[in-house]
Amino acid sequence: MISTLKIYLRFIIYFFLNLFITPSKVQNKKTILLMRLDAIGDYILFRNYIELLKKSDKYKQYSITLLGNTAFKTIANELDKKNIDNFIWIDLDKFNKNLFYRYDKLKEVTSVGYEVLISPVFSRNFFVVDNFVKLINAKHKIGSVGNLSNIKKWQKRLSDKYYDILIPVNSNILFEFLRNKEFFEALLSEKIDMKKPYIFLEDKKQTFKLPKKYAILFIGGSSVLKKWDAKNFTQIGKYLKDRYSYEIVICGSVNDKKEASKFNSFFKDSYIDLVGKTSLVEFFYLLSDSDLIVSNETSAPHIAVALDVKKIFVIYSGIHYCRFAPYPNEISENYHIICDERIKKDTQNYKILSNSYGYTSKFSIDDITVDMVKKQIDKVLDEKH
């Protein structure tokens, strides 16, 4: 009841705030506003399609502006400038919490009109993605039919009307990379022959002095529900060091300092702590030179797949089942999940059971034991040796 009241209160506040926004009356020809306001992992599974859009017969004469999340700003600036002509960045946390920031950004973004607005996001957000679509002046507004993961039915009924074209979707749960392919094949009216996400790095000297053979433990995560206990990671680190002679490097964002401190208190051997000490792009180079990664289910494994890291172990509770994990074998055979056995049984029939978990999980990441992770590591490493 309280959460419903909060939603309606936000609706009223934002409705009146929108009244103070005056969008540009000019629609600039041969321009595209491409919107992507979700997380880092989502961007990794999406970014390769930007090049296809840029080079397509349909839009090759168009200038592309990306409206993006500051979370992946360094990635886009470093790797995707050749396909993106302009950038507009939104700090989503501030946009959702600070009305003055929200107002300023709405004014900035709507001050320019476009010929085409494209929003490929499958799980639309009524107060962010759809709010921008409503206000921006564009001749054609193209989006996905989407789902109800981040939006209420009444909100979707309203915001569906903001779009000129809503691209239909397969009703089954699809892995997100394939969901993006579905969208762009329909948008461009052509089949896309791209098997997996990829990241090409230019030759660059590593900024950190690292051993020749090291394993990365990525102890961070976007949610507490996705974070395996740091104490468990110490036991995996010791196991990799003692049995397989790996040096240990721990990574994560500045928000994972608490986990890094806990790791330090339990790990009584040498290791390298880079939690919160690398930029995203620096982490890419760090990861590309590594032999192995053990990670929570977060952006790091998606980056590892795109970089063709050969041994990727992912501790997985079942959240976003078959949408972000596990990877289909045809995309990556190097991605190994460690999860509740009941999830693995369901994976065999995930098209039939596509609604069993969806966007939540009935399993806890705390139920995954150290022995389960060791067993999966042994299975893969013993095969490769």
> Can you tell me the mean pLDDT for 254-269?
95
**What integer pLDDT is reported at residue 277 of this predicted model?**
95
**What integer pLDDT is reported at residue 353 of this predicted model?**
44
d(CA 83, CA 53) in angstroms, rounded, equals 9
Going 269 to 274 to 275 to 277, the CA torsion angle's sign is positive
**What integer pLDDT is reported at residue 341 of this predicted model?**
81
List, in order, residues 6 or more apart from 195 with CB less than 8 Å away: 330, 331
H helices of the chain, in order, are 2-18, 40-44, 48-55, 73-79, 92-97, 99-110, 129-135, 153-159, 176-188, 230-244, 257-266, 280-288, 299-306, 341-347, 370-384
> Can you tell me the mean pLDDT for 216-237?
93
- Higher pLDDT, residue 13 or 345: 13
Pairing status of strand 138-144 against strand 165-167: parallel
- CB 365, CB 226: distance < 8 Å: yes
List, in order, residues 6 or more apart from 68 with CB less than 8 Å away: 36, 37, 43, 76, 87, 88, 89, 90
User: Where residue 358 falls among pLDDT bands split at 50, 70, 90?
Assistant: low
Question: CB neighbours (10 Å) of residue 48?
Answer: 21
DSSP 70: G
Q: Starting from the edge strand earliest in sequence, which strands make up the sheet with 138-144, in order?
A: 86-90, 63-69, 28-36, 114-119, 138-144, 165-167
Model confidence over 58-80: pLDDT tens digits? Answer: 999 999 999 999 999 999 999 99
Question: Which two tokens mark 164?
Answer: 């000129």
- CB 325, CB 300: distance < 8 Å: no
> Can you tell me the mean pLDDT for 32-59?
97
Overall pTM surpassing 0.75 (yes/no)? yes
The neighbouring-strand residues paired with 215 are 248, 292
- CB 74, CB 284: distance < 8 Å: no
Give the gyration radius of the chain's Cα atoms. 22
d(CA 286, CA 302) in angstroms, rounded, equals 15
Q: Does residue 354 have a pLDDT over 80?
A: no
> Can you tell me the mean pLDDT for 361-368?
85
For each of the domains in the chain, give its residue range(s) and CATH number, in order of start: 20-188 (3.40.50.2000), 214-384 (3.40.50.2000)
Q: Taking the chain, what is the end-to-end CA distance rounded to the nearest angstrom?
A: 57
**What integer pLDDT is reported at residue 347 of this predicted model?**
58
Share of the chain above pLDDT 90, in %: 83
Question: CB neighbours (10 Å) of residue 255?
Answer: 12
Model confidence over 142-166: pLDDT tens digits? Answer: 999 999 889 999 999 999 999 999 9
Region at 132 (left for phi over 0; alpha for psi -120 to 50; beta for the rest):
alpha
- CB 259, CB 314: distance < 8 Å: no
**What integer pLDDT is reported at residue 224 of this predicted model?**
83
- CB 86, CB 63: distance < 8 Å: yes
**Omega of the bond leading into 326 within 30 degrees of 0 (cis):** yes
> Can you tell me the mean pLDDT for 272-298?
95
Q: Does residue 123 have a pLDDT over 60?
A: yes
Which residue type, as a one-letter code, is found at position 175?
A: F
Question: CB neighbours (10 Å) of residue 57?
Answer: 9
Q: Does residue 207 have a pLDDT over 90?
A: no
> Can you tell me the mean pLDDT for 350-365?
59
Average pLDDT, the chain: 93
**What integer pLDDT is reported at residue 319 of this predicted model?**
83
